[in-house]
Structure 1
Amino acid sequence: MGLLQQPHPMKATCRDQSKYCRFHRDYGHDTEDCHDLRNQIEALIRRGHLGHYLKSREVTPRPKGPPERQINVISGGPTADGSSTAARKAYARSTLEKHTRPEHEPKITFGVGEVERSHHIDALVISIQITNAQVKRVMVDTGSSADVLYFDAFNRLDLTQGDLTPVASTLIGFTGDSISLLGTTMLPITIGEEPRVKMVMTTFMVVDLPSAYNVILGRPTLNKIQAVVSTYHRTIKFPTLAGVGEARSDPRESK
């Protein structure tokens, strides 16, 4: 079996003393970031010398060549950046500004004990309160640039056409199709359980399409409540004045 060729130690001038490479036996970068070590390991794998080390590990195949097609997520609509060019430029400038962080922001963590079933592919589906109604089958989708309220749920909230604001924007769906909006409506939503709850005003894009869900909660609201999403733990967590609030996915609703 070919062995790794040990290089000569690097010159110790102007090296970052906080990082040490065991392969080069010198400072300057971490072992995990060593390109020389990585290249030699890959060469040994190609020659078949490390096969018995790889049998017990999952090997991720790497596609060759450029991608042949693109699959999009839900995008578009009059989101936080607005519909006009001027509004989008103003939004882009605002994202570059530094904002002060709260002095006592609760630490958000996820523990191993919070996972009921480690191997799952369930969607993250939660319940939230919209106005005075508890709404189930709310899918949390970090890939969506809009918060979506389906028309069936809109009607069951006892809302009418007078609660809709006409818009000229469209949404781009998963397949690339343009989806016309019935309008937008701004509603208060409450998420979490007392006393660790958050209430925010959310602008929903209302669409008349068949769906397994009542609502899609996208990035605008998730960012507004500073949510940290873990599909593995089937939970979203967010800071509140009373500590860390959370909304857990219902496995039955997810299926």
Structure 2
Amino acid sequence: MVAPATTTYLKWSKTPITFDQPDHPAHVATPGRQALVVNPVVGGTRLTKVLMDGGSGLNILYAETLRGMGIPMSKLSESNMRFHGVMPGKKANSLGQITLDVVFGESKNYRTEKLTFEVVDFHSAYHAILGRPAYAHFMARPCYVYLKLKMPSPKGMITVTGNRQRAEECLQKG
């Protein structure tokens, strides 16, 4: 006899996430031009140019960023990950993986999750890329028109506003 499956809900799934007029910035010059660039605390360091990329299946940390954070390469665990599409025309091998705490929010309302990053050794305008694994861990939802990211927390909704100036700088550096 077959029994019906019991639904197991993910943590935070009861919390609705909406975007409406109070989220709307004063001015949206070119909707969709700029990427969602945020500044979470990663491994105890505030990173100011982190790309939220819902199209990426990986969280990526650049070796240059890792060195800047004062984390030695000896902390990486082995990874045989090969991927492409991060840099046009380039295939990349991961130097290794590292799991770090990632914090969004402010001192009165924040969330911390452990995320695993593939570390790569090529130049980027960004410090890191947070992909679908990060969205899933935080149960976060983006609004690319408003350049906002929302996620539930024990003390209510966290709204992270993307930095338009840094997004534009990263776009120019390409």
TM-score normalized by the length of structure 1: 0.58
1:197 aligned to 2:106? no
Alignment partners' CA distance in 1, 2:12 and 2:139: 15
Alignment partners' CA distance in 2, 1:184 and 1:216: 14
The runs of 5 or more residues in structure 2 that have no matched partner are 169-174
The runs of 5 or more residues in structure 1 that have no matched partner are 1-95
1:172 aligned to 2:84? yes
1:233 aligned to 2:142? no
Q: Is the 8 A contact 1:105 1:239 kept in 2?
A: no
Query: Could you report, residue by residue, the CA deviation over 1:80-100 in whole angstroms, capped at 9, with x for unpaired residues?
Result: xxxxxxxxxxxxxxxx98322
**Alpha carbons of structure 1 residues 179 and 196: separation in structure 2 relative to 1, 3 Å:** same
Alignment partners' CA distance in 1, 2:13 and 2:135: 20
1:217 aligned to 2:130? yes
Which residue matches 1:151?
Answer: 63
- Higher Rg of the two aligned structures: 1
Which residue matches 1:142?
Answer: 54
Q: Is the 8 A contact 1:106 1:243 kept in 2?
A: no
Which residue matches 1:248?
Answer: 161
Which residue matches 1:124?
Answer: 36
**Alpha carbons of structure 1 residues 98 and 168: separation in structure 2 relative to 1, 3 Å:** same
CA RMSD of aligned residues (A): 2.1
Q: Is the 8 A contact 2:12 2:152 kept in 1?
A: no
Cα distance, 1:246 vs structure 2: 1.7
Alignment partners' CA distance in 1, 2:13 and 2:141: 17
Cα distance, 1:167 vs structure 2: 1.4
Query: Structure 1 counterpart of 2:92, which letter?
Result: I
SS of 1:113's partner is helix
Alignment partners' CA distance in 2, 1:210 and 1:160: 18
Equivalent residues in 2 for 1:73-92, closer than 5 Å: none
Alignment partners' CA distance in 1, 2:79 and 2:129: 19
Cα distance, 1:222 vs structure 2: 0.8
Which residue matches 2:171?
Answer: none
Query: Structure 2 counterpart of 1:115, which letter?
Result: H
Single out whichever of 176-185 and 145-154 deviates more from structure 2. 176-185
SS of 1:136's partner is coil
Structure number with the higher helix fraction is: 1
**Alpha carbons of structure 1 residues 194 and 97: separation in structure 2 relative to 1, 3 Å:** farther
Cα distance, 1:176 vs structure 2: 5.6
**Alpha carbons of structure 1 residues 100 and 122: separation in structure 2 relative to 1, 3 Å:** same
Higher relative contact order (CA 8 A, sep 6+): 2
Cα distance, 1:102 vs structure 2: 5.9
4+ residue stretches of structure 1 with deviation over 4 A? 101-104
Which residue matches 1:113?
Answer: 22
Query: Could you report, residue by residue, the CA deviation over 1:33-65 in whole angstroms, capped at 9, with x for unpaired residues?
Result: xxxxxxxxxxxxxxxxxxxxxxxxxxxxxxxxx
Q: Is the 8 A contact 1:107 1:244 kept in 2?
A: no
